């Protein structure tokens, strides 16, 4: 069987980052604005973690996808221009990291529109990609994404290669994600919010991530990693990303692609 | 490029021990006074964990900082004096390990002053360092610390190098912390309080500490450890601390400083 990818590529890899900053905590509970234990932990992401991550990606010449809540972009207006300069993709991740499933239609539209406006103003272009905060979309989210002109969603977990949603005759690509290819379940730790991950060792997490890659590579699928600068930006955790990258690039015929490139390829192939 | 430390020093590690004893539990829920099982787990810290830790530190000739809630200091005066006699620093850690987020400022001020009085009475010197219980400051905490003559805080998570809070011309150094380097999340297991962590293997925890050290050493940062005698004072868990010490000491130009040493150096820069 011919593979899914062109030019002899065996497996496509995307490294994506949700640059949540404080937005994911304020989206849970506005009171966290008064709790430096929450805000300083979160601000470590855009302030300390992100520059460290960007240096690593540059070192390996990898272009990634950055899902930036409008709130983070407003508070850190230097981030998006810097990401674009380095060739990375900017995509939508809510305004204050609102979970769409918890919103009514008016609220969901406002979060989508506000995020779109901010990202378009700062990046100079309409962003084609969307990853829902907390991967918790509502029953209407896919319809709204098509209505607002998005090319892809990256929030669902029912496959390990892209597929296409038929939304009233329009095509929206899905780039599926997995909790075990996300850093937060391993390392998310914020007692003030009742979040107490297992705090796995970097070696254990690397082992999970490269084990997943080995099978997806053999099967010729798509490997999408979702990381958070406030989590993986700490040196110990970033070593897991670096070791995973080193493992991946030791294989032939691997292509690192941005999510927008994967979605465009998938739609152009006419795949379902 | 010149680093942030004096001379050839590449990185500075500060070992901080929060001797919470029973205070964190009684502060959380006074009904825990009726749960001897839970309290015994907490009392292990000052009773057995601290002596074991002091011996370890002496063995490696390391001076550290012990952040002690006033309630614990009152109940373990001899322990506090022993800590000072061995050259370690004593820092403020609340009275009953109170979370300060959203606390009325009068109450926060009263707790701050009460803890200061107790530590000063026992140690004979003014306390200059502060670590917020649960790292949970209010928006007023930094200002209160500066007004009360503290030199440094060590509660904030947004940096890998020290920095300075400027409070209307008064300077307060921040020695930043991180949950990655706090033992509690790895080891806490207190079913009576609904806390069931992953009970990590000390080897896995050491690997995390070591990987964090590698990053701090490469970049020349500070490495601030937050350890609890009731967690890391147990023999199995203390191996993760001892192995970190040995690993760090196998590198040139690594120093172990007390929190106040970092703060005073930073203030002098």
- Residue B53's pLDDT is 98
Nearest CA in chain B to A204: B204
- Residue A2's pLDDT is 66
pLDDT at B1 over 80: no
Q: Would strands B163-167 and B170-174 be described as parallel, antiparallel, or unpaired?
A: antiparallel
Nearest CA in chain A to B141: A36
Question: What value does the mean pLDDT take over residues A150-177?
Answer: 98
**Reduced DSSP (H G I as helix, E B as strand, rest coil) percent helix, strand, coil of chain B, to 5:** 50, 15, 35
| Chain A residues in contact with chain B using a Cβ-Cβ cutoff of 8 Å | 31, 34-37, 39-41, 43-44, 47-48, 187, 189-192, 196-204, 234-239
Using CB atoms, which residue from B134, B200, B204 is nearest to A37? B134
Can you tell me the distance from the alpha carbon of A112 to that of A30, in angstroms, rounded to the nearest whole number? 19
Per the prediction, chain B carries an average pLDDT of 97
Can you tell me the distance from the alpha carbon of A121 to that of B185, in angstroms, rounded to the nearest whole number? 41
pLDDT at A1 over 60: no
State the pTM of this model: 0.95
Q: List CB contacts of B44: < 8 A, sequence separation 6 or more.
A: B229, B230, B233, B234
Q: List CB contacts of B20: < 8 A, sequence separation 6 or more.
A: B42, B45, B69, B72, B93, B97, B133, B228, B230
**Neighbour tally for A272: CB within 10 Å:** 9
**Cβ pair A31:B102 closer than 8 A:** yes
Tens-digit pLDDT profile for residues B3-52: 999 999 999 999 999 999 999 999 999 999 999 999 999 999 999 999 99
Chain B residues within 8 A of A201 when measuring between CB atoms: 200-201, 204-205, 207-208
Main-chain dihedrals φ then ψ at residue B102, nearest 5 degrees? 70, 10
Q: What is the ipTM of this complex?
A: 0.93
Is B254 within 8 Å of chain A by CB? no
Tens-digit pLDDT profile for residues B215-225: 999 999 999 99
Burial environment of residue A73 by CB neighbours within 10 A (0 to 12, 13 to 18, 19 or more): buried
Can you tell me the distance from the alpha carbon of B117 to that of B124, in angstroms, rounded to the nearest whole number? 10
Question: What value does the mean pLDDT take over residues A248-272?
Answer: 97
pLDDT band at B197 (very low <50, low <70, confident <90, very high): confident
Structure tokens at B90: 């004593």
Q: Would strands A170-174 and A152-153 be described as parallel, antiparallel, or unpaired?
A: parallel
**Cβ pair B180:A238 closer than 8 A:** no
Is B137 within 8 Å of chain A by CB? yes
Q: List CB contacts of A242: < 8 A, sequence separation 6 or more.
A: A56
- Residue B166's pLDDT is 97
Any idea what DSSP says for residue B161? S
Smallest CA-to-CA distance from B12 within B132, B154, B197, B188 is with B154
């Amino acid at each position: 069987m011919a593979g899914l990818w062109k030019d002899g590529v065996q497996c496509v890899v995307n490294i994506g980052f949700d640059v949540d900053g404080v937005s994911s905590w304020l989206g849970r509970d506005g009171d966290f604005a008064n709790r430096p234990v929450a805000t300083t932990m979160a601000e470590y992401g855009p302030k300390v973690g992100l520059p460290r991550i960007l240096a690593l990606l540059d070192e390996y010449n990898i272009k990634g996808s950055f899902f930036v809540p409008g709130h983070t972009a407003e508070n850190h207006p230097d981030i998006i221009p810097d990401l674009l300069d380095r060739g990375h993709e900017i995509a939508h991740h809510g305004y204050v990291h609102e979970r769409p499933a918890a919103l009514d239609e008016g609220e969901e539209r406002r979060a989508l529109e506000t995020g779109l406006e901010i990202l378009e103003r700062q990046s100079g272009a309409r962003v084609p990609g969307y990853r829902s905060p907390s991967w918790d979309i509502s029953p209407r989210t896919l319809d709204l994404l098509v209505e607002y002109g998005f090319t892809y969603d990256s929030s669902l977990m029912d496959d390990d290669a892209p597929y296409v949603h038929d939304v009233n005759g329009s095509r929206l690509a899905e780039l599926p994600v997995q909790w075990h290819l996300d850093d937060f379940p391993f390392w998310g730790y914020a007692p003030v919010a009742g979040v107490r991950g297992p705090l796995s060792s970097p070696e254990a997490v690397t082992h999970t991530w490269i084990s997943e890659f080995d099978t997806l590579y053999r099967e010729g699928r798509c490997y999408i990693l979702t990381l958070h600068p406030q989590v993986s930006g700490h040196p110990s955790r970033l070593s897991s990303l670096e070791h995973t990258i080193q493992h991946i690039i030791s294989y032939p015929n691997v292509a690192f692609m941005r999510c927008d490139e994967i979605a465009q390829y998938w739609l152009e192939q006419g795949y379902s | 490029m010149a680093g942030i430390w004096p001379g050839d020093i590449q990185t500075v590690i500060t070992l901080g021990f929060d001797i919470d004893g029973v205070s964190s539990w009684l502060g959380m829920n006074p009904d825990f006074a009726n749960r001897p099982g839970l309290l015994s787990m907490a009392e292990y810290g000052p009773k057995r964990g601290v002596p074991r830790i002091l011996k370890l530190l002496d063995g490696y000739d390391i001076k550290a900082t012990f952040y002690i809630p006033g309630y614990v200091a009152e109940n373990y005066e001899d322990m506090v004096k022993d800590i000072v006699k061995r050259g370690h620093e004593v820092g403020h850690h609340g009275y009953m390990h109170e979370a300060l987020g959203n606390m009325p400022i009068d109450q926060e001020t009263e707790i701050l002053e009460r803890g200061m009085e107790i530590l000063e009475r026992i140690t004979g010197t003014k306390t200059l360092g502060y670590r917020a219980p649960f790292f949970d400051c209010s928006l007023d905490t930094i200002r209160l610390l500066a007004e009360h003559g503290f030199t440094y805080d060590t509660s904030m998570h947004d940096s890998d190098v020290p920095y300075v809070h400027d409070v209307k011309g008064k300077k307060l150094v921040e020695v930043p912390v991180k949950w990655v380097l706090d033992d509690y999340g790895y080891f806490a297991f207190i079913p009576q309080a609904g806390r069931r962590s992953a009970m990590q293997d000390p080897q896995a925890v050491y690997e995390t500490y070591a990987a964090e050290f590698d990053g701090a050493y490469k970049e020349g940062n500070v490495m601030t450890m937050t350890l609890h005698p009731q967690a890391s004072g147990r023999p199995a868990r203390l191996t993760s601390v001892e192995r970190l010490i040995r690993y760090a000491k196998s590198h040139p130009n690594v120093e172990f400083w007390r929190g106040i040493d970092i703060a005073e150096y930073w203030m002098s820069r």
